[in-house]
Every structure is written in structure tokens, then in C-alpha cells.
Amino acid sequence: MKKHNFNAGPSVLPREVIEKTAQAVLDFNGSGLSILEISHRAKDFQPIVDEAIALFKELLEIPEGYSVIFLGGGASLQFCMIPFNLFEKKAAYLNTGVWASKAMKEAKAFGETIEVASSKDANYTFVPKDYVIPTDADYFHITTNNTIYGTELFTDIDSPVPLIADMSSDIFSRPLDVSKYGMIYGGAQKNLAPAGLAFVIIKDELLGKVSRHIPSMLNYKTHIDNGSMFNTPPVLPIYSAMENLRWIKAQGGLVAIEKNNIAKADLLYNEIDRNKMFVGTAAKEDRSRMNICFVMAPEYQALEADFQKLANERGMVGIKGHRSVGGFRASTYNALPIESVQALVQCMQDFEKLY
């Protein structure tokens, strides 16, 4: 049976990217060797890294003065690399979820860390908007898409201090104004590549300003100066990322990708709002296009397991909500075809007809 992959992460990738990756595992570039058994410094591999970085710059229209690097350790390692490299006196964080608060926790070990606003008391169902960014902070950290709660910030905000964004789960989902950011980073496994890879886009002029010693592996400068090859990078995920970026470009780039993401999200939110059995959990103006969270309406609460069962029978995978929100979460990343959303909507409509 056809599966509809709504997993939150690791998650759906374009079929084409998976096939190309599988091919490279069997025989990389007709070399008679697998990509798994060649050096990251092999002459055939360098063009893969170069093309991945070039496509980052092209698709996101990254201005001059920024570096793009690939690292291991996921987004979570960045939570501590950021203060190591950029925290001198004070940092500011917007608390919009568990990932945001984990990032903030690491900064606290380095000194004064200001939480400018938080939606924790409302179980992170919205993105706070009224707050003041301290102008004496070294940076201001935000999480643009809150994967667990299904809220998203769609605007590239103005910040008086360098803006740092965790875009693990919405990178490449819409065009960005990179010039508004000092740094953009994320784990690759939500919208880009298999797990094991993190990407960092950083404005070069922010580096080299802190007074502490930074261990080599945690120093962005090390990785920039060595073209992401200071040590062995996650070779296979970089290969898949490159193929995925080619795929994004072939779809028409980020303008086309965004249009498709809006169409998918509208389709599902419209059904959640129309269908008497379900309610959305995120504030309407902050509804994520990547992770769509909904629960049973109070009077139908007892039917949650029945809906889950019907969805399973129809090939829906990964729609169970995160334990801190409950209900359901359908992740609709770039690679999820609109047909999968249509199948979920059909399932919700058929379920409603049963009661």
C-alpha cells in the first residue's frame, strides 16, 4: 500500500533524492566504489560539497560576506557552539518551545541570558510578538518553526543586534531575506537530508570577537577555513542534501516551493476548521506550514484512537501528535506530495460521516 509519510523528523525526502543516494551507495559516479568507501578528500567528492554550498547560496540568495558550512552534531550542538563563538556579555532568546528553551539553557552557562518573551504558559500555542530586544545583547536567538507545537514565524524580523535563527524545520520552505540574519542554522533531517548533518550560514564579520578560547572543533572559523573538511564531515548526508537542493531548484526554487507548501497547508487547515470533529491547536496567525497540529474536538475526544486506526489503515504514517501536545501532527515538509494531504483530508471527511 502507498504510504503517506507525515513524520516530523527524520522525515519525507523526494523519491528522486533517495534513489540518487541509493545509486551513489552502490556505485558513486561510475567509479566502481561506493560513496561509503571513498575519502571525503577524494577529487570526486569535493565537487559535491562545492555544489551543495553553491546551491545554498543560489537558492537562498545569500549575500556576500556569509559562509556556509556543514557540521556533524545536529542542531543541538549548535545550541552550545553559538554562545562559544558569539557570547561575550549578554544574549537574548525568544522562548517559543522546547527547542528554543534548550538553546537558551546552553547560553545560560556563559552568562546573562535574557528571555525576551515566552509562550510557555500557553503551551507554546503562539509566537510572542510584543517584546523588546535588548540593544546591548551580543545576539538575539529565535526558532522560526516550532516543530512540536506547529507555530511558525514567517517574517524576517528586524533586530538591532545580530539575529540568529534555528531553521531546522523550515529551511528551504520559503524565500528568505538572509541579510536580516547574523546566522541561520539547523539539523538537516527535517527538510533537507538524512540525519547526521547540520548546516550553518554565518556572517563572517561576527566571528573572532569573543575573548575566550574556543576549542578547534567548536570554532566556526576552523570549519570555514577548512571548507567543512577539518575532520571527516557526514559525507552521505551532504550528498543527499546536494541532490535535494538540485531537486528544489528543478521545482522552480523557493518561490515555487513556498506556493506548494501554502497550498498543502491551506488544504489541511481548511478541513480542520470545517470538520466538526477536529480543532487546530496553534493560534491561527502563527500556524505552521510545516507541522500541522490538531486534536479531537472535546465532544469527540473518545474517538481519537479510532481516527488513528482509520488513518493507519489508509497508509498514513507519523500523524500521532507529540506527547506534549497530544492529538495529531501532520508534518508537510517540501517533499510531501499534495496527494498525501488530499488523502488525509479524505480520511477526516470519511471519519466525520461515520458519526
Ligand X SMILES: *Cc1c(COP(=O)(O)O)cnc(C)c1O
Nearest to 343 by CA among 3, 8, 13: 3
Give the residue with the Cβ less far from ligand X, 102 or 249: 102
Using rule CB under 6 A, residue 196 touches ligand X: no
Q: Which is nearer to ligand X, 166 or 258 (CB)?
A: 166
- Of the candidate residues 67, 168, 281, 331, the single one contacting ligand X (CB under 6 A): 168
| From candidates 147, 331, 332, 340, binder to ligand X by CB under 6 A | 147
**Burial classification of residue 299, based on how many CB atoms lie within 10 Å of its CB (0-12 exposed, 13-18 middle, 19 or more buried):** exposed
Amino acid at site 203:
K
Q: Which of 113, 118, 169, 331 binds ligand X (CB under 6 A)?
A: 169
| Of 20 and 141, CB closest to ligand X | 141
Bridge partners of residue 151, in order along the sequence: 146, 287
74 binds ligand X (CB under 6 A): yes
Verify binding: residue 176, ligand X, rule CB under 6 A. Answer: no
Q: Residues 190, 247, 264, 286: which is the catalytic one?
A: 190
Q: Is 130 a catalytic residue?
A: no
- Cα separation, 176 vs 208, in Å, equals 26
Please say whether the beta carbons of 35 and 25 come within 8 A: yes
| 234 binding ligand X? (CB under 6 A) | no
| Angle formed at CA 167 by CA 161 and CA 172, multiple of 5 degrees | 120
| Residue 237 found at the interface with ligand X (CB under 6 A) | no
Phi-psi region of 111 (alpha: psi -120 to 50; beta: other; left: phi over 0): left
Cell of 230: 577539518
Cβ partners under 8 Å of residue 210, min gap 6? 84, 85, 86, 87, 88
Question: Does residue 288 bind ligand X (CB under 6 A)?
Answer: no
Asked if residue 187 binds ligand X (CB under 6 A), the reply is yes
Query: In whole angstroms, how close is the CB of 292 to ligand X at the nearest point?
Result: 14
Nearer to ligand X, 184 or 296 (CB): 184
Footprint of ligand X on 127-146 (CB under 6 A)? 143
190 a catalytic residue: yes
Min. distance of Cβ 43 from ligand X in angstroms?
30
172 binds ligand X (CB under 6 A): no
Total residues at the site for ligand X (CB under 6 A)? 12
Angle at CA 281, nearest 5°, toward 276 and 284? 90
Residue 271 engages ligand X in binding (rule: CB under 6 A): no
DSSP of 194-243, one letter per residue?
Answer: SSS-EEEEEEGGGTT---S---GGG-HHHHHHTTT-SS---HHHHHHHHH
Residue 118 or 143 having the CB closest to ligand X: 143
CA-to-CA distance for 133 and 153, rounded, in angstroms?
Answer: 16
**Which three-class secondary structure state does DSSP give residue 183?**
strand
Q: Which stretch binds ligand X (CB under 6 A): 13-21, 70-78, 134-142, 347-355?
A: 70-78
What's the closest the beta carbon of residue 159 comes to ligand X, in angstroms?
A: 18
The residues near 93 (Cβ < 8 Å, ≥ 6 apart) are 100, 103, 104, 107, 113, 114, 115, 116, 140, 141, 142
Task: Examine residue 76 and tell whether it contacts ligand X (CB under 6 A).
Answer: yes
What mask of x and - would describe binding to ligand X in positions 8 to 37, judged by CB under 6 A?
A: -x----------------------------
Q: Is-catalytic flag, 166? A: yes
Told to check if 190 binds ligand X by CB under 6 A, we report: yes
CB nearer to ligand X: pick between 75 and 347 = 75
Q: What contacts 245, CB < 8 A, 6 or more positions away?
A: 51, 52, 55, 56, 59, 172, 192
Footprint of ligand X (CB under 6 A):
9, 74-76, 99, 143, 147, 166, 168-169, 187, 190
Please give the positions annotated as active site. Answer: 99, 166, 190
